[in-house]
Every structure is written in structure tokens, then in C-alpha cells.
Chains A and B, each alone.
Chain A
Amino acid sequence: MTSAGGFIKAIESGSKHLVIKRFTLRYPEKKLKFVGDGYQFDPKRGVGIAGYRGRHILFHDKCTGCQLCAIACEGIAEAIGMVKVDEKWKHNKKSIMPQIDFGKCVFCGLCVDACPFYALYMTDDYELSAFTKEHLIYTPAQLAVKPKYDGSVELKIDDRGATHG
């Protein structure tokens, strides 16, 4: 009676899970915690620093308008365009800075790798919904804002199963 044994084992396994903690992350109320402050890149060492690849943050005091990020994006998503900004920086003679269209961006982070001046990083923010496509185009001023992300839930594993709390 191997088949009966198989059924009994299956029923046992199934009913065992009735008392195990649920796995689901109740998303809008609870958000996942990420490592670090987002993906960053160290051009000196030529290697990235682990972190979540969410929307970008642009440091205006470091951007020189060299367009390397736009060139890196050219064959990938073509999401980065250089726009004129109304700011005067000594290191940014042309006063151009990247503007990112998150409707096109694939969040590969190769633009961050391309930036030699520590000006473009990525952040933990992934909630980028908008009602129109135009609203997904982030100007340099919008990119300079550090997003507030308060994810705190981590996967907990104990004897009664894995759960997101």
C-alpha cells in the first residue's frame, strides 16, 4: 500500500502547514529592508558597492556635465538625456546635468559605473508610479532629492517556518 502511504504523507505535510507562519509580505503596510543606501560605484577601484538599484540620486556639487552616463545609456535604454540647468558650478561649465526618464530606465546601473566623479548613485526607492509618462521624467532637481524609504521588514526564519513578520 505505497500509494496509501503517499497520500497519508501528503495529507500530513499539508496539514502541518496549517500551523506554520505565513510567508506573505503585506506590501504597502510593510516594506523590505535593503542592504546599504543603494548601489554605488567607486571609480578609483573600478568596482561597485552593493545596494539596491532603485531610482537615481544626483549630487549637483559633483556633476561636471561630462555626459558619460548618457553615453553609457545610449545603447541600453536611452533614458538619460542631458539638460540645461539654471545653476552655476565651477566644475560644470556647460551647466548640463542628466535627466532620467524612468519610463525607459531598466535600472541596470551601468550609468553609475560610468560616472567618474561620484556624482550619480542609486537609492532604495522603487515606488516610481505616476499618472502620466511625463511625470516619470525626473529633472536634475528632482534627482537631487534624497528619497525617504522606510523599509524595515526582513525575512525571519525559525522553527515555525519563514515569515516576513
Chain B
Amino acid sequence: MSTEFSNETLKKDSSNSGLQIVKESEEDRLMTLSVGPQHPGSGHFRFTVKVDGDYIVHCDPDPGYVHRGEEKMCEYRNFIQNIPHLERPVIHDSNNITYSYSLAVEELTNIQVPRRGQFIRAIASELNRQVYTLYWLAIYGIFLGHSTMFMWPTGDRELFIDLLEMLTGARVTHAFNIPGGVRNDMPVGFSEKCLRNISYFEKRLVEYENIFYNNPLMRQRTEGVGLLTKEDAIKLGVTGSVLRASNTPYDIRKAEPYDVYNEIDFKVQYMKSSDCFARAYVPLLDMRESCYIMRQLLDKIPQSGEVRAKLQPNPKGPAGEAYRRVESGRGALGYYIISDGTPKPYRVKISVGSFRNMLALPHLLVGAKLADMPSIYWALNYWPVEADR
């Protein structure tokens, strides 16, 4: 980008009745574009960009269009009643957003989850991760103008939605994790169906690579675009696939294994190239790894046993605080809960990956081309509703 402007235009000055040379200022060259909230490529989110020709010189995120005050609402409800509304920010990943909440409440109230319950939780969490990532991938496809890549993941998402519906009874908002375990046991025939769907899905991932990831046009659009170096990624505190695409193998499931994840053998998927392609490709690797994790979980799950610890309708523990994290589809998802000994939490702070990744948006967009805006924005794995809470 050049910051010096030598364009001089002739403008007619009415007072002087003659031609006067007016120097074009920098601001005159810039055009402000509002991306969102009624823009097809924004979601419930708005950011204004200023473009100089085809280059973005300024970016100002303006979230809050779907701010619902989840944290405030939590203070008025008891620990169990918080679950249905806490999963609203990201209904595609609702098992993960209630997972860390349940973990934190269990830490506060000293509940031990039965082993089978822990496994079912992990299975539901992995299934939901697939649902979210497929949805994300579908949108990424349409952001790059690839309509087939929108339809295929949206269709294949049904595989996991069907499984989740079989397991939890709901298709998107599951309200399945609960302090003390899970709401119900696995139905008969679940694991066979799950294994069948997983093995079909693994074949589909090859097709995704053929038509989308290995397509030269997609590579041209994403490779070398939006470079986020490891140092910058750490400085900005991004998380999830964005962090792992920047050559930092950090995954909460590995770094701080919760429930049964320390018994599962898996690798943290990361890439070194730090560009949009890496940020788009890491979720695919994640999905593949997630299939592998699910097979192990279904293999290792105890055949019988309790799935939910008995707890009183209004669980409460001693005063204290807990900060627990899980790895969601968008990275670390932490709950900081302060309890004052009553059945209602005193303060709940949700630390979500989307909010943290938003900081990278101006960092990456400034200096990029306008045509790269969709690929950079959506590769950040940013879910506006979750960021607003």
C-alpha cells in the first residue's frame, strides 16, 4: 500500500470562478464498505472496512448484534436451569458449550461423573464437533463461491445430526450434558450405526479433498493469503484451528485432558504454513482425527454402568470458583464460574474461541485485498453468535 498520494484533480471552485488545483486527500481515496449485518458474507456480525482501490486499509469489527447477555442470565438461574440457554450461542456445537460448563459445575459441587457417562459425553462432544466443522466448511465453500462444497457438507452433516438425535433426542439444541453426567444412556444399536456412518464419512472426506482442497483455484485463493505467524498467533491469543494452523500444536484435549481423553490415543493436528489454506485444512484433519477418536471411544466404553450421578434438583456446593476448558469446534471454550454457596452462580464468564479469534480479524484484513476478505474472515473460525454471547 502506498501512503503517499500525488493525484491532483482539477475541481471547479465556484467562489473563485476559475480552476483551482485541489489536492486529493488520503481520506478521499478511501471507500468505506459495511460488511454486515445484512451482508451475505458476514453472519450476525458487522465490520466496516475501508478500501483503497482493492486493498483494505482499515477494519473495525462491530459485534453485538446477537448479544443476549448469557452471562447475566446465568446469575438468575440455578446450575441446571442454565443449561438450555447456555447452548443457544452456538447451537451447532451445543454439546461442547455445555461440556465445560458441566465440568466447572462438577468441580464446584464435587460431583464425580460415572465412567460410562464420561464416555458418552466425549462421544456426543466429538459428534457435535463434526456437525459444527461440517457447517463451518459448508459456509467456507460458499464464501469461496463453491456451491457444491456448500451442499455436500450440509448433507453429510445429517449423518451426525441423525446420530445425535438418536442419542440425545434433539437435532441441534441437545441439552444433553448435565452436571453429573449425561441425560440418558445410549440407545440400542447406536454404536453400530455410529461406526457405519463414520466409515461412510471417512470416504466422503476424500471427495472433499478432491473437489475442494486440491482444486487449484481454491489453492490460489487461500495459499499464502492472510499469513498469521506463530508469534502473532500467540501474541493475539487465538485458539483452535487458527492457532493450530499457525504451527502451534495446542489442543485442550491433549494439553489438559478432561474426562476420558487421557485414555485416547490421538494426535494434535497442526500445519506449518500459517495461511488461510492451513486454517481451512486443519478442520478437515480434525474431522478425520475425530472419526479416529470416536472409534476408540466406542471401542473402550464400558458396556454397562451408570451414566449420571444422582444429584439433588438444586445442586449447590461450597463457595469457590472454577475455571474449566474444553476444546470445542472453535478452540478452547472456558467457563469461569464463581459460586457463593447458593444454588445460583454468582458470576459466570464464558471465554469463547470466537471472541478471541476476532482480534486476529483486523490484524489479518488490513493490507489484504478485498477479494480475500471472505476467505480470511471465515477461515478464522469465527461464530458471531458465540462471540456475542
Residues of A participating in the B interface, judged by any CB pair closer than 8 Å? 2-3, 6-7, 9-10, 12-14, 16-17, 23-25, 32, 34-36, 38-39, 46-53, 72, 74-77, 106-110, 113-114, 122, 155, 157, 162
Contact = CB atoms under 8 A, between A and B. Distances in A.
A97 B215 CA distance: 61
Interface residues of B, number: 46
Contact of A122 (B76, B169, B186, B310): B169
The list of the 4 closest CB pairs from A to B, nearest first, reads A48-B184, A75-B81, A3-B216, A75-B77
Given A3-B216, A47-B307, 8 more contacts: A9-B210, A13-B210, A35-B187, A50-B187, A52-B165, A74-B81, A75-B78, A109-B175
Contacts of B148: 14
Contact of B211 (A3, A10, A50): A10
Interface in B204-255: 207, 210-212, 214-216, 219
9 contacts: A9-B214, A10-B214, A23-B155, A50-B166, A50-B169, A51-B169, A72-B81, A75-B77, A110-B80
A46 B308 contact: yes
Interface of B: 76-78, 80-85, 148, 155-156, 158-159, 162, 165-170, 173, 175, 183-187, 189-190, 196-197, 200, 207, 210-212, 214-216, 219, 306-308, 310, 313
A76 B155 CA distance: 32
A74 B82 CA distance: 11
A107 B170 contact: yes
Q: Which residue, of A72, A108, A157, has the highest number of chain B Cβ atoms within 10 A?
A: A108
A47 B165 contact: no
Contacts of B197: 155, 157
A108 B162 CA distance: 17
A108 B215 contact: no
A106 B212 CA distance: 37
